[in-house]
Structures are given as C-alpha cells and as structure tokens.
Amino acid sequence: MILVVDDDISVTTSLSLLLKQAGYQTATAASAAEALEWLERGGCELVLQDMNFSRQTTGEEGMELLQEIKQRWASVPVILMTAWGSIELAVQGIKAGAADFVTKPWTNKQILQAVKTALGLAAATPSTERTITRKELDCQGDFANIIGTDPQLLKVLEVVSRVAPTDASVLITGESGTGKDEIAQALFRNSSRRDQPFVKVNLGGISSTLFDSEMFGHVKGAFTDARQDRTGRFALADGGTIFLDEIGDLAPSGQVKLLRVLQDRTYEVLGSSKTRSVDVRVISATNQNLLELVESGAFREDLLYRLNLIVLHLPPLRQRPEDIPLLARHFALGAAQAYRRDLEIDAAALSWLQTLPWPGNIRQLKQLIERTALMSSSRILGTDDFSAALSMQPEEGQSGSSDLPAPGTMTLDELERSMIVQCMERYQGNISRVAQALGLSRAALYRRFEKYGIAP
C-alpha cells in the first residue's frame, strides 16, 4: 500500500487515481498525525508526502514527519513532493533519509518512475549480511567482464546485482584505472534495459560551449556552423542507459542543465523551442571527491543527490593483491590471442607483481602485461621480463627525453602530441596528473586526445 500525504484533496485524489491505474493500492492522509495512524496499522510499502500540511511554507512539518517515519519505520521509503524553488529543502530531506523527491508541477511519468524505483530498491535490500561468493554472483548475473574474488569487489558486485534491475541512478567512484567503466557496463547488462542503447559520454572532453549541442542536439541553423541537424546523447540513449563519465569535470553551467533534464526528464534541442521528453537510466562516474567539490562550491549539491541514489566505490588495485594474479593471467591470455603466440607468467613473477604499488591500477597492470609481451620473446614471462618492461617507465622527476628536437624536424603539433604521450606513459594513464603536469585542464586535455587520436 502507498500512503499519499497532502492537505490538498485535489492532489491526494489525483495521485491516488494515478497510482491505482498503475496497479498500486493507496491510502490518503491530510496531516502528519493521520499519516502516522496509517503507518501504525502496518502494510505501508511507501510514503509519498508533501512538505507542508498547513499554510506554512517552511517545510518544517514535512521534515518532522519524515524524521518520525525514518525513526520508527526505517525500511519504509519516503518520496518527498516539493516546489522547484524548494530544492534545498528537498536535499535536506534526502540527507534525513528520503528515498527521492519530485518537484511540483510533476508529470505522471515522473511520479510513477520515482515510485517504481523506490519500491524496487526497497525490495532489493538484502535480508542477510552473509558474504556472497563469486560463484553465486556469476549465477545471479552477467559479470564476465569483471575479474576478481576480493571481498571488497564482491560487495560491489553484490550491490550491482541487486540494483541493476531497478532504474535507480548510480554513482561509481574510485581512482583512475580501477574499472569504473566495466562496472557501468555490468549495471547495464544486468538491467531490464539491456536490449536498449548504452551511450557513454565523457564529460571531461566536452567544452561548456558545446555542451548543449552534444547532450541535447541542435537543429540546422541553430548557430553558424550548424549545417545539419544533430542528435544529442540523451536522444540516442532514450529508452536505455546513459553513462556520464568524469561527472566531476562538468562546468557549472552544464550542471544546471543536467539537473533540469534529470529532474524533469525533459530537454530542448538547441535552436528549437519544442520540449522533448526522455526515458533514461543514469549512471555516472568520477575519480574526484564530489562532497569536497560541493563544499568548495564547484559542484551542485542538488545535482549530487540526483546522481548518488546508489554509490559504488571501487577499491584501488593495491588493496586487492589476491586479484593481481587473476588479472595478470587474463591480460596475458588477451595478449597471447592478439599476438598469436603462447604466453604464460611464472609463479615468481606473479608474486612480484603483487608487491608493486600500481598507482595506475588495473589499467597500468594491463599496459605492463602488453608491453612485456611485446618486448620478450619468451613463452613464459618471468620477473626479469616484467622488470625490464617496467624500467622503460621514466622515474619521477625525469622526463622521457632530455633534449628538444632539432629545429625543423618536428611541428608544434607533433611536439605537443609526443609530450602528451610521454606524460601518459609516465603517469600510467592518470588523467588528473597528466593534465596537471602539462598545465592543462582535464577538458583541454581530452580535446587534445581527440585532436591527436590518443586513447585515454
């Protein structure tokens, strides 16, 4: 049963009718006291409540009711209803335990989607704290692209298996190279949208001036170089999943626009006044601490709480030493297939690999395996083979080349490309460190990746 709490009878009547038509049983309450009476009777699966039940507009009544519900019936999800101008109040509600919030005026689709997601997440809550095994996880879902049996990783995969069937927004955090893209893919493959589009967007590579065109599309003539219509990423992902990578690099202007489309599920194509709706599941990822960015004013708090309904944090490879041999053998098999030769890694080398710090995480391990396979003619790769390949990596404080090329032997573009490649090699693909070393923003670095055809 879904309890609708609002002092406006027109709101409770319309919502009750909508929910009943969607197959839900409902009850209504016009005050906090009446709502608590319904909850005490039991059988309530979700509360959909307004933030005000009188002429007051402070939202204090709604917050008090929310806190009472979460204190006495912690497992019952609560969805808040509030005006767009009260987003800050809604964020306070999320911090206090609300499952979600919808803003007035809402659409029927918004309400039903929020209810479906909240109920789905409540049903996905584990009934036991027993650690699940990798074999059990593989029986529950498709995790073929993720290698490892580390307990920290298994906990992440367990959450993935539970939340993937829902439409809940997921934020994936972790250092560069830890496999955030693979987790996003696993969420998609195990979701009900697996047969629909999966669109990945690297927000660090989109300038603020191109954000509208890239994300929402444009019509011919919308600006000087708009010679034909362009379909935006949200339109391409309609019905499926959109993966917003490097979300922490999004400029403030883009954050406002993204918040609007995530809130209302509507957008406007650049150059057109027609409002279009979109149905997408949102997954985002970052290697930055978004809470720190919120505190510094660089990231919107309301956007953060739209993105992080579920947070998955990937541990760095140095915290998963037992998984290093599994990953190394997996990458060696891939290299053997690519280079059409037999390859193995001896036991001593596997143990040695476990002792390395791996600042570039899984990505660095893969690069080292591939480089070693190219350099060595041996069928069985040993510690000396890996050590020789690793020695090609310049030490901290050194550059890959001590002298500049002779005048006339290299263009500025070629020189710039060479320096980017050297920095990528030196910092094991850590985008933040490469950008800092080159004196560029991450967005500017990604534009150069595209310009020079460099794979990040």
Tell me what pLDDT residue 419 has. 87
Domain coordinates in residue numbering, the chain: 2-123, 134-313, 317-390, 398-456
Tell me what pLDDT residue 173 has. 96
Tell me what pLDDT residue 433 has. 82
Burial class (CB in 10 A: 0-12, 13-18, 19+), 47: buried
Burial class (CB in 10 A: 0-12, 13-18, 19+), 444: middle
Distance of CA 444 to the CA centre of its chain: 22
Residue 392 has pLDDT above 80, yes or no: no
- Please say whether the beta carbons of 428 and 367 come within 8 A: yes
Tell me what pLDDT residue 396 has. 40
Taking only the tens place, the pLDDT of each residue in 122-155 is: 887 665 566 789 999 999 899 999 999 999 999 9
Assign 398 a pLDDT band (cuts: 50, 70, 90).
Answer: very low
Q: Amino acid identity of 94?
A: I
Domain pair 2-123 / 134-313, same fold:
yes
List all residues 6 or more positions away from 12 whose beta carbon is below 8 Å from its beta carbon.
4, 5, 6, 28, 29, 30
Q: What crossing angle do the helices spanning 383-390 and 361-375 adopt, rounded to 10°?
A: 110
Highest mean pLDDT: which range of 102-111, 176-185, 388-397: 176-185
Residue found by looking up tokens 């998963």 in the block: 320
Fold of 398-456: Arc Repressor Mutant, subunit A (1.10.10)
State how far the Cα of 26 lies from the Cα of 4, in Å rounded to an integer.
7
| 444 vs 303, more confident | 303
State how far the Cα of 284 lies from the Cα of 266, in Å rounded to an integer.
19
Kind of pairing, strands 230-231 and 217-218?
antiparallel
Residue 443 has pLDDT above 90, yes or no: no
Lowest mean pLDDT among 35-44, 139-148, 201-210, 304-313: 201-210
Token pair, residue 61, equals: 């009544």
101 three-class SS: strand
State how far the Cα of 410 lies from the Cα of 332, in Å rounded to an integer.
36
**Other CB atoms closer than 10 Å to residue 275's CB: what's the count?**
10
Task: Calculate the dihedral angle through the C-alpha atoms of 252, 254, 256, 261, rounding to the nearest 10 degrees.
Answer: -160
Residue found by looking up tokens 């993937």 in the block: 164
Q: Region 7-29: what's the mean pLDDT?
A: 94
- Residue 115 Cα distances to 10, 45, 75, 351, angstroms: 19, 10, 15, 50
452: left (phi over 0), alpha (psi -120 to 50) or beta: alpha
Q: Amino acid identity of 243?
A: F
List all residues 6 or more positions away from 135 whose beta carbon is below 8 Å from its beta carbon.
none
Assign 402 a pLDDT band (cuts: 50, 70, 90).
Answer: very low
Total-model pTM: 0.79
Tell me what pLDDT residue 366 has. 93
Which CATH architecture describes the domain 2-123?
Answer: 3-Layer(aba) Sandwich (3.40)
CATH code of 134-313, in short, is 3.40.50.300
Give strand pairing partners of 50.
Answer: 81
Taking only the tens place, the pLDDT of each residue in 61-107 is: 889 999 999 999 999 999 998 875 566 787 888 888 999 888 887 88
Which CATH architecture describes the domain 317-390?
Answer: Orthogonal Bundle (1.10)
List all residues 6 or more positions away from 141 whose beta carbon is below 8 Å from its beta carbon.
160, 161, 164, 186, 189, 190
Percent of the chain with pLDDT strictly greater than 70? 93
- Please say whether the beta carbons of 79 and 103 come within 8 A: no
